[in-house]
Amino acid sequence: MEWKADRGLQFRMLLTMFLLAGLYIVFIAALSLYSGRLWLIAMAFGLFSLGQFFFSDKITLWSMGAREVSEEEYPRLHATVQRLSQQADIPKPKIAVVDSRNPNAFATGRSQKHAAVAVTTGIMNTLSDEELEGVLAHELAHIKNRDVMVMTIASFLSTIAFLVVRWGAWFGGGRNRNNGGVFVAIGVSLVVWILSYLLIRALSRYREFAADRGGAIITGKPAALASALQTISGEMHKVPKEDIREQAEMNAFFIIPISGSAITKLFSTHPSTEKRIERLMQMEREMGRF
């Protein structure tokens, strides 16, 4: 099966990004009603986010307690990633390991040349070689699709809108306290933040489907990734609570998010495991394996 876009999925992603762009135009217009002080805060946050973007691989690995490992330490893992990277036609990323019983994996980095793939000791001890290949291919598909860059850009103004809502009344006070435009801007920012939050979560779910598809094309074995997702999902209830608390903030990076409440699932960054498996098995049938 050739590496090509799922047109329906591609359309939904483009529509979501178009709606986000429209929201952000409204947001920028509203923000223009603020005092210069708030613009300075937004600019400072922008510079901080730019630095975070350029060092995203190092920051994410550090926050997860991931350690970059050498080929001598994990020869089979390096060999597998090297082979899959060649099949995906991307540079081999850095490889890191997280000492955690949580069976998961993630990719990070601003570009294909500045990327890293990390796996937990839990996932290496849980999955078969074929299943682990499927997971690694999924993460390499994220890198090939430049998903970290896309999601960072999509989230940038949404985060500023959240800061405006949180701090706008305070910074818009003082001599501008009677300026009704300030409070209009805060109200618009609140609406922008809520709607963009939902749209970004939808975009994230679409890109997970795309990474599943890409990973299955890299290996040529959709059923192996489907089996890995099923295995990981079945093991999640065994993850110690302390690991869940420590890693819950990184859900968006994982191949399967740590389970949460019904509200958490409603606004999840990932589609349901059942839907992902269903799509992968459809790919398996299309490839003539059944």
Percent of the chain residues topping a pLDDT of 90: 36
Question: Average pLDDT, stretch 103-131?
Answer: 93
Bridge partners, 131 (sequence order): none
Is the confidence at residue 267, as pLDDT, over 80? no
Between 230 and 247, name the one with better pLDDT.
230
Bridge partners, 95 (sequence order): 117
Instruction: Give the three-state DSSP class for 94.
Output: strand
Percent of the chain residues topping a pLDDT of 70: 69
pLDDT band at 128 (very low <50, low <70, confident <90, very high): very high
Catalytic residues: 139
Q: Which pLDDT score, from 0 to 100, does residue 175 have?
A: 47
Q: What angle do CA 147, 149, 150 make, to 5 degrees?
A: 65
| Cα separation, 226 vs 274, whole angstroms | 9
Residue 278, both tokens: 């269903």
| Cα separation, 282 vs 205, whole angstroms | 18
Question: At residue 122, what is the residue type?
Answer: G
Question: Average pLDDT, stretch 99-108?
Answer: 90
